[in-house]
């Protein structure tokens, strides 16, 4: 359990059980079952942080970064097809 807590702490709480398991096996060379890592993390209350860090969700009241006026036909990209 001490290795699991160390790996989770070193990741600043961003690693869930799959990454912790991979770090234990590949990084530290420990033979450990993924189900055991999952169970021990759940019992210890260790969870990965979810959501994008540093990215705020745009609310309906916030303005967009570009104006939504004008016609699509006046776009400089009119007539182009495909990707590139």
Q: Which two tokens stand for residue 22?
A: 């991979």
* Residue 19, in any domain of the structure: yes
Using an 8 Å Cβ cutoff, are 30 and 3 in contact?
Answer: yes
pLDDT at site 82: 45
Residue 37 lies in domain:
2-44
pLDDT in tens, the chain (84 residues): 889 999 988 888 888 999 999 999 999 999 999 999 999 999 999 888 876 555 555 556 666 666 656 555 555 555 554 443
pLDDT at site 84: 39
* Residue 61, in any domain of the structure: no
Of 75, 13, 74, the residue nearest 44 (C-alpha) = 13
Overall number of domains in the chain = 1
Q: Which two tokens stand for residue 4?
A: 């699991």
pTM across the whole model: 0.57
* Residue 72, in any domain of the structure: no
């Amino acid at each position: 359990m001490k290795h699991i807590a160390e790996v989770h702490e070193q990741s600043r709480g961003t690693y869930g059980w799959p990454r912790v398991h991979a770090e234990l096996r590949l990084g530290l060379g420990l033979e450990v079952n993924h189900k055991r890592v999952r169970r021990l993390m759940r019992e210890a209350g260790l969870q990965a942080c979810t959501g994008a860090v540093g990215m705020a969700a745009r609310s309906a009241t916030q303005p967009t970064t570009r104006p939504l006026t004008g016609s699509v036909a006046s776009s400089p990209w009119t007539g182009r097809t495909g990707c590139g």
